[in-house]
Amino acid sequence: MTENFATTGSTQTTTESPVRKFRRSREDAMIAGVCAGAAKGLNVDATILRVLLVAATLLGFGAGIVIYLVCWVLVPQE
């Protein structure tokens, strides 16, 4: 016995989260907008990420500045 299911006209709701894209911000940019774009994607204040980046640069022997420069080159603007 074969059952036929017609799905025309029906709507399905999914619980998928919206896709967040990492873009450099144009409005809240201090240098290149990397921290502001990341803050927008993470829903935090950009100042917090800027302070964390400075701390990572000072405590990580310059690793923070390298990460920032790589993001500046690779991440597109809004």
List, for residues 23-63, the tens digit of each pLDDT value: 999 998 999 999 999 999 999 999 999 999 999 999 988 99
DSSP-derived 3-state class of residue 45? coil
The neighbour count for residue 39, using CB atoms within 10 Å, is 18
Mean pLDDT (whole number) for 14-25: 78
CA 22 to chain CA centroid, Å, is: 3
Can you tell me the distance from the alpha carbon of 33 to that of 21, in angstroms, rounded to the nearest whole number?
14
pLDDT for the residue numbered 52? 93
**Predicted model pTM:** 0.69
Is the pLDDT reported for residue 67 higher than 60? yes
Cα–Cα distance measured from residue 74 to residue 12, given in angstroms and rounded to the nearest whole number: 37
